[in-house]
Amino acid sequence: MDDSTDTLATQATQEGMLKLARAKVINARALERALEILGIAPGATQWNRFLNTGLLALGAAFLITGVFFFFAYNWADMHRFVKLGIVEGLIITAVAYISYKSLDTLTGKITLTVLALLVGALLSVFGQIYQTGADSWRGYVLCSVLIAGWVWVSKFSPLWFIWVLLLNLCLFLYWGQVVDYRDPIYDSLFLWLFLFNGLAVLAWEVGSAKGLTWLANRWTPRLLSLLAFYALLVPTLDVINGYGETPSLFYFMAGLFFVINALVIYFYSARKLDLFMLTASAASLMFVLNAQVFNWFENAGDFFILFMGIFIIGQTALVVTLLRRASNAWEQEQK
Amino acid sequence: MTTQISFGEVFNRMAGEGIDSSVPTEAVAKIISAKAEEAPLPWYVRLFVGIAAWIAAILIVVFLFIVEVLDDIDTKTLIFGLVFCAIAILINRFGPRNTFLEQLALAISLTGQVLAGVVIFEMSYSYSSGISYDPYFPTIVLELIIIALHRNSVLRFISTIIITSLIVGMIFDKDIVGMIHVFTMALAVGTLLIFISEYHLISRGLEEITYPVVYGMILSFFALLTTPASAFSTYPDYNDFNWDISAIGILILLAFLTVYIARGLGYRPFSKGVVALLITSALLLVPGIRVPGILGALLMLALGFWRGHRVLIGISTAFLVYYISTYYYSLDWTLLVKSLSLMAIGILFLALRYFLARFTKGETA
């Protein structure tokens, strides 16, 4: 068998077809048909699946939004038992539907997500009717606790993401409503924020490494990592700029910033390639580096501004080069 | 997921269908085996590069003004700006291919555009010199030249956003607010035509210029569709906006796309499934007439899935969620009417899903 025949016997790829189209070996119609045969351009089966999922998600979204609007309209005039009854009725209906459909189906998981949101709606209705003057953070914490069991059994990454965001909200509200700026723990908000989200990302990666398919989605840990990076970045910048009295905890956080970035760069370049994590890490390091350089040389004269502009270009070029290298090295290793 | 099939089998199948049957084997093998060009960077890396380039450009402009190389908004500054853009193009097209020069060219080009754009606009209204001209067209021409000549996807994307912003600015400046619908529809039609012709554009080697431009158009389209629920509702002539026009226009495009895709898949244009989809799309006018973004997001979502653009699917989904939430603030109907319409449409979608699953199996041309 000669080389030409060998190549034609290899697995067809989208990239190969695109190369042939760019070289005008195949025309546009042939390219389109080739991508359909490869399953890349959606055929009737994929469209049916898309419409099936899309119509379910849209139907649920429009229905639940309509319900919320209905509550908003009728609210003042409704008796309190009617208000509570409607929400609880929806919760019971949703639970019955999930029992019928099972949690292993997409329909069941989306319904469970809607159910979790309805619990939030129920608590807010309850808080509105029976006003005790309690801080709102209590309601959010209670909601988080009540839906924790459902989140655990759902094996549905969007619901997990919503729950972690809810926990973050509880943290912010608690700090805003309860913790006084004179309290010793006031400065530890960023540490808690980092721990929450950092541990969530870690748990996600461990679960994904163990082969849990529902944790294969990369966007949830990526978005949560942004919160973790933010939690480390703010104290580090405060240490650099040194406006007013910097809490001693922030020095620890600054050290942690560099350690975590080193671990992120190692793990997401050598163990599991994720260019988003590497980019986020690089961006946070650039923030800190430029803040420090600015701090050192801000009185160095007008040419310092030109230097900073060129310095930023150089850093960006370096980051892009390193990202490309990491990506190429990973591809070589996978072959 | 890609089907497990060899290149040879794909060509044989296409030959059997009468498509491109004479494919030179050696040429195919040579091209497929050729070393791959550098894969494009993911969108978030390009976003990072774009933001860094803007920051660098701003610092360079500030420096030039502080040291009084440029000390006034005058012809000298304009020339500097245009020269910077030209230098950036030269570096990009003829310089050695390395990442540092690529970023440098990007920052220089942005610096040049800022300088040239500021001068063009400032001097257009110079009462002291008596100069008066329309600043929009020269700036748009400059951006078009940059798109055509400077081969950088981030820059082409930014230039597209600048062009669409200038056109919107021109519409408000000249007080022809009705044209906002023409422009919105132009963006939608342009996007649709580009995606329909995508494979032709690829085979002509135009994908490098097409993708950043079409994504710029899509983001501009979404941004315009946020205006019905935004601060523009307090604009003095807000009633001239009449978003019903855009909503109906987008609905027509959505219907066209539905029939086009269905025909491509071998369905008859008026088969049960297609008719059901068209009727549902028409009923989406109920909320869509006030918030046309809902229809616009669905149009882009369908385009994204059709052509396998996951980024477009993600952006469209995010904007769809946003537009549904802005429906709350639409003042034309009471909350009761809005709530009932949303619930009815939610039930309609679920009913359509059931109908498509039960009654449209095996329906083809």
Residue A101 has pLDDT above 60, yes or no: yes
Q: Please tell me what DSSP assigns to residue A285.
A: H
The model's confidence at residue B222, banded by pLDDT at 50, 70 and 90, is very high
Q: Least CB-CB distance to B346: which of A28, A48, A66?
A: A66
What integer is the mean pLDDT of B37-43?
72
At B228 the pLDDT is: 62
A19-33, A315-329, B217-231, range with greatest mean pLDDT: A315-329
How far is it, in rounded angstroms, from Cα B279 to Cα B281?
A: 5
At A1 the pLDDT is: 44
At B363 the pLDDT is: 53
More confidently predicted of A238 and B4: A238
Q: What is the pLDDT of residues B46-97, one digit of tens each?
A: 888 888 988 888 888 888 888 877 767 778 888 989 999 999 999 999 987 7
How far is it, in rounded angstroms, from Cα B52 to Cα B50?
A: 6
Residue B129 has pLDDT above 70, yes or no: no
How far is it, in rounded angstroms, from Cα B299 to Cα B296?
A: 5
Print burial letters for A148-185: b (CB count within 10 Å at least 16), e (below 16).
Answer: eebbeebbbbebbbbbbebebbbbebbbeeeeeeeeee
The model's confidence at residue B1, banded by pLDDT at 50, 70 and 90, is low
B22 touches chain A (CB under 8 A): no
Q: A with B: how many residue pairs have Cβ under 8 Å apart?
A: 271
Tokens matching residue B101:
């020069």
Q: Least CB-CB distance to A11: which of B4, B307, B346?
A: B4
At A280 the pLDDT is: 94
At B128 the pLDDT is: 57
B105 touches chain A (CB under 8 A): no
Print burial letters for B314-350: b (CB count within 10 Å at least 16), e (below 16).
Answer: ebbbebbebbbebbbebeeeebeebbbbbbbbbebbb
Tokens matching residue A87:
């929400």
Q: What is the pLDDT of residues A231-276, one digit of tens each?
A: 999 999 999 987 667 788 899 999 999 999 999 999 998 888 899 9
Residue B238 has pLDDT above 70, yes or no: no
Mean pLDDT of chain A: 87
Task: Tell me if B59 and A305 make a contact (CB, 8 A cut-off).
Answer: yes
At A171 the pLDDT is: 92
What integer is the mean pLDDT of A192-199?
93
At A248 the pLDDT is: 85
How far is it, in rounded angstroms, from Cα A193 to Cα A85?
A: 37
Nearest to B153 by CA among B23, B29, B282, B311: B311
B227-236, B307-316, B336-345, range with greatest mean pLDDT: B307-316
Residue B230 has pLDDT above 70, yes or no: no
Tokens matching residue B310:
């996951």
Secondary structure of residue B6 in the 3-state scheme: strand
What integer is the mean pLDDT of A206-223?
87
Nearest to B7 by CA among A296, A106, A6, A225: A6
What integer is the mean pLDDT of B96-119?
86
At A20 the pLDDT is: 85
Secondary structure of residue A11 in the 3-state scheme: strand
At B297 the pLDDT is: 93
More confidently predicted of B32 and B217: B217
Query: Which amino acid makes up residue B213?
Result: V
Q: Please tell me what DSSP assigns to residue A246.
A: P
CA B168 to each of CA B18, B46, B59, B171, B236: distance values in angstroms, whole numbers, following the listed order = 47, 25, 28, 5, 17
B6 touches chain A (CB under 8 A): yes
At B150 the pLDDT is: 93
Residue B17 distance to chain A (closest CA, Å): 10
At B31 the pLDDT is: 74
Nearest to B351 by CA among B301, B276, B243, B256: B276
B96 touches chain A (CB under 8 A): no
DSSP string spanning A179-203?
--TTSGGGGGHHHHHHHHHHHHHHH
Residue reference for tokens 């009417």? B337
The model's confidence at residue B160, banded by pLDDT at 50, 70 and 90, is very high
Residue B276 burial (10 A CB sphere; 0-12, 13-18, 19+): middle
Closest residue on chain A to B25 (Cα) = A4
More confidently predicted of B165 and A83: B165
Residue B272 has pLDDT above 70, yes or no: yes
Q: Are the beta carbons of B327 and B338 closer than 8 angstroms? A: yes
What integer is the mean pLDDT of A299-328?
88
At A277 the pLDDT is: 94
Q: What is the pLDDT of residues A145-185, one digit of tens each?
A: 999 999 988 888 889 999 999 999 999 999 888 888 778 78
Which stretch of A19-33, A71-85, A143-157, A159-173 has the lowest confidence by average pLDDT?
A: A71-85
The β-bridge partners of A11 are: B6
At B360 the pLDDT is: 66
Interface test with B, best of A8, A27, A75 (most B CBs within 10 A): A8
At B231 the pLDDT is: 44
Which stretch of A245-259, A291-305, B192-206 has the lowest confidence by average pLDDT?
A: A291-305
What integer is the mean pLDDT of B232-247?
62
Interface test with B, best of A3, A7, A49, A268 (most B CBs within 10 A): A7
Interface test with B, best of A284, A320, A335 (most B CBs within 10 A): A320
Closest residue on chain B to A45 (Cα) = B265
More confidently predicted of A134 and B355: B355
Q: What are phi and psi of B338, to 5 degrees?
A: -65, -40
More confidently predicted of B30 and B117: B117
Task: Tell me if A317 and B107 make a contact (CB, 8 A cut-off).
Answer: no
Residue B131 has pLDDT above 70, yes or no: no
The pTM is what? Answer: 0.76
Residue B33 has pLDDT above 80, yes or no: no
Print burial letters for B298-311: b (CB count within 10 Å at least 16), e (below 16).
Answer: bbbbbbbbbbebee
Residue A67 distance to chain B (closest CA, Å): 6
More confidently predicted of B306 and B241: B306
Q: Least CB-CB distance to A62: which of B6, B342, B356?
A: B342
What integer is the mean pLDDT of A292-304?
85
Residue B364 has pLDDT above 70, yes or no: no
pLDDT over 70 percentage in chain B: 85
DSSP string spanning B104-155?
HHHHHHHHHHHHHHHHHHHHHT-TTTT----SHHHHHHHHHHHHHH---HHH
The β-bridge partners of B6 are: A11
Which stretch of B190-199, B332-341, B345-354 has the lowest confidence by average pLDDT?
A: B332-341
Residue A92 burial (10 A CB sphere; 0-12, 13-18, 19+): exposed
At A285 the pLDDT is: 96
Integer distance in angstroms from the first to the last C-alpha of chain A? 23
Q: Please tell me what DSSP assigns to residue B217.
A: H
B347 touches chain A (CB under 8 A): yes
At B365 the pLDDT is: 41
Q: Least CB-CB distance to A69: which of B31, B60, B338?
A: B338
What integer is the mean pLDDT of B174-184?
87
